[in-house]
Amino acid sequence: MLNRFARALFTKLFAPIARFLLKLGISPDAVTIVGTLGVCVGALAFYPRGSFFWGTIFITCFVFSDMIDGNMARQSGRSSVWGAYLDSTLDRVGDAAIFSGLILYYAGKGDSMIMVVLALACLVLGSVVSYAKARAEGLGMTANVGIAERADRLVAVLVTTGLVGIPFLHLPTAVLGVVLALLAVASLVTVIQRMLTVRQQALAAETGA
């Protein structure tokens, strides 16, 4: 949903930033790498200590690099297979760091096995969602379906984690737990949707052959 409705808006908003970075001689790949490192540092340095609000603020400062680097590549005419591969691979690293940070907190200071299981489920199923699409494309098919794409999952977990981390709101951990549970279910549904879509294409190709 966010990919369809928000990407065009953010592309316009980040176009001047992308243009400025290109004038400085910075490459899209450099932005991709720095953005991923920033997300990982924010998630693994702040979240395990229970600093959810500032961790989310720190991560948000870097998470939009995913759109900036693509914008830079288009403006410079340097879009490449390598750039797309690097961006996609490091996206998975950043996502894993976010959920890993939550797992580390709730396995230690947060002391909640339920939250550990929910965050781990989101981590694993999110990876399978991405793999299901990548593997389909590797086999010459498409799997661009699903109710929980990466942008949706990322926004949901970051917004909720950040809100739970604001002291004066006093939002209970259960709020984050509910969101993680919903994300896990949505991710599972997305995996099934993509598997069924690929199966349909595979059967159609076999029949046509």
Catalytic residue numbers, as ranges:
91
Chain-centre distance for alpha carbon 39 = 10
d(CA 131, CA 191): 9
Contact 150, 92 (CB under 8 A): no
Contact 21, 74 (CB under 8 A): no
What does residue 170 show for φ and ψ, rounded to 5 degrees? 55, 40
Q: Give the DSSP letter of residue 101.
A: H
Contact 187, 180 (CB under 8 A): no
Q: Map residue 27 onto helix, strand or coil.
A: coil
Write out the H or E segment, with its range, that includes residue 86.
Answer: helix 81-107
In one-letter notation, the amino acid at residue 12 is: K
